[in-house]
Structure 1
Amino acid sequence: MDAVRGPLPEAVTIGVIGAERFIHRIAAVAREETRTPYRLVTGAADREVDARERAMRLVGDVDVLLFSGPLSYDEAISDGPLPVPATFVPTGGVALPTALLRGALTGAVDPARVSIDSAPERDVRETYAELGVSMDDVHVLEYRESVTAEQFLAFHREHYDAGRTSGAITTVPWLAEQLSEAGVPNITMAPAVMTLRATLRTARLLGSGARLEDSRIAIVIVRLPDSALPNRTSSSNYWYQELMLSLHRALLHDARRMDAAVLQRDENSYLVITTMGSLRSGTDDLARAPFLASIRSALSLDAGVGIGLGMTTLEAEENAQAAVNLAEASSGELAYLVGPHGNPVPLPESQENPAPEPEPVADRQAEVLQEIIGLLDASGDDSRVVDADRVSRLQGVTLRTARRTLRALVDAGLAWPMPPARVQKAGRPAVRYQLLDERLIT
């Protein structure tokens, strides 16, 4: 075991588990941090099945464990929980286009004829759509807890041996070695430096939370409503990506004050990881909900916000999941906090506005959308893009009523909130909405 040591103010030691190549990369990223240096203890595990054995060797010397990916993490906890908090480097993200570019430049694989493991299929489809490359001969096997490295290997070999692919892109170093021995050209999709930085910060926060009672782990799940997801392949996906970026910026506004890490959790939610002490300072001692005001101001959209507390990462995330489910049942007007004892606590956006307002039913919103579409058609406008001022003038109602109408259409899945236009004038820019009249048919 080798270690990288520095005068870390919180005295948090991170145990890093993974292949030698991963350990060298994470150590190089950690060395770049000079303001609050990291203290790392490493345990090399070339095979994911060895991850638990390596981790158990380190648990007495570390405050938190950091695994190279979800596969090694799940292998490590398959025989029971670990004695210290643990996290892993997420797959996908900007690592995929980098791997595709490297494959094209080196000629190792043809990005148009390739098999890809671990990365979420949605990420792959969006990446190929942006590149303008067909996915007809691209095969994806997402990571699931039940998937093993051997299944990944069989997946890649089957497609290559059948002549359907030119090679493979994998996130598992051991798998890359096996593919090379089998004569299958391959590229290893390594996590980007920015992903490693964020994961190191998350590990530090988790380790701090485990050491200090006042800094118990606090995990916040912020989830967009299902109505905000695009239901077809079209330009709507562009607005969805812009919406997720706008949500990320809104979360960072509050997260910085709580010294929190913000990571994308899945296609419509983010994970915010902080400590109980930081959460208290950022919410006036839990007098108001975090993020609700920022999200509504930036996106004119209600998102579900659930906060989970726990002594372990798993406990905190399970409580956060229960909390966000309760928040969505309140139509996004309240956030919920669930602690170790499971008693939910509602948190309003502010003390001045504690109660949610009832939302109109979906059938009524379909009628409203039909009315607005009819008024737009009568005026010769077929763009299906409006803002509150436009709806106010069309329907002859106040701006306040128009804004509530548009928000209700979004909640019913009949409108798409678009990021505010960047205009060079004072005041809050108007939020535009794409009306989804095609959803009236379904």
Structure 2
Amino acid sequence: MNMKVAVIGPHDLVDAVLHIGSFFSELSMLPAPYRHERETLEIIENIRDQADILLFTGPIPYQIALAASPGKPMIHVFYSGTALYKVLFDCYRQHVLSFDERLPISVDVLQRNEVEEPLREIGLPIDDIFIKTYASGMGHEEFVAFHYDLWRAGKVTVTVTCVTSVYHRLVELGVPAFRVIPTQSAIRDALNCALLEGKSLRYSSTQIAVGIMNIDNFEQVAKEAASEYDIQRKKIILQQILIDFGEETQSLIKWSDSDEVSFITTRGIIEQVTRKFQDAPLLLEVMERLQWNASIGIGMGRTANEAEGKAREALLKAKTGGGGNCFLIMQDGMVYGPMGSELKLEYSARSENPELISLAKKVGLSVGTINKLISLCRRLGTSRITAAQLAEGFGITLRSARRIMAALEKYEIASIVGEEQPAGRGRPRQIYSLNLEGVDYE
């Protein structure tokens, strides 16, 4: 069965990708053109369920989609300086530019070296070129203003854009504008990436996934119930939720006599229903409808036994700090959780980094805890953290968090740099600065 690739971008670029894609027998192309980049998310919403992979004709719609986490593998066509050759040829052919000592043009999206290197190779001057490289969050208006202001100031005679909507707006404003079109080789490279992504997707999606759900403190819940009938009614609702979940995910549901239920399915299905391990819809439904606290651990593996072992590890993490969480552990030891939480972390329980292993032994913490700490700091966007933030992020008690920070401080991995006063009454919280060399927290 062919991989279905949704091609998202302006009409003419989508057509160009479809033409080259027709030579890829293992890919089925689904056209999804737009008139403006701002339609990207609407387009994705309409085609997401039909596609295995999303391919964007440029970096801007790709970045827009990335921020929305559509839960599908995504690829975009790269724009390189080589694509400038045709634009420059068109400029000279139309007598907009001439071969003299100046090349007064403005270029957007491309990296500086991608513009300058190919021009140097053919002996063209680069001193009068203005470049605005694309960065996440930049929009149509910013690029239009960049080109228009330079042209109005007389600093450029030609504007060169990689963004279709920017090109059309500049033309409306009467600005001499040329549009960079991705080369056929760049489109071919993107399609080859889609092909490889598809093969990887097929392999990974066949991995076995085992999930284990446990009702937290079930004996206590049963004691506090209004009656035994109330418990039985809720068990029937739980069965219905799990039957619906099993039907939706084609899972094998395994009931036990204890307060535990397990299910077996494939990684591909779990990846789909959790939006690439972001959400925990089953846990949310159980807790909302039953008003019971529950924990779920999900494990991946090549065999059912391997996946169940990972699921047991994940369940232990989910129950830490009182439960009510969902964690997932991959075959390679990568941990995701708590899924569905704003403070969801991604970290590896393993490491082959000798410095990290040495640090963990020195401090008396596991490698997984150190990696988890790094992930939390990255999530917070800072290396400065309080024990309260650590407790919330790890789902542990404040006492345990303080113990971890004390161990890090003892070995000069953390140092106290200030205090903050919590809302209401209470003693000030110490702010620690972490010193883990080579780690980027931003």
Into which bin does the TM-score normalised by the smaller protein fall?
0.3 to 0.5
Larger Rg: 2
Which structure would you say has the larger RCO, counting Cα contacts within 8 Å and 6 or more residues apart? Answer: 1
- What is the TM-score of this pair, normalised by structure 1? 0.46
Q: TM-score, normalised by structure 2?
A: 0.46
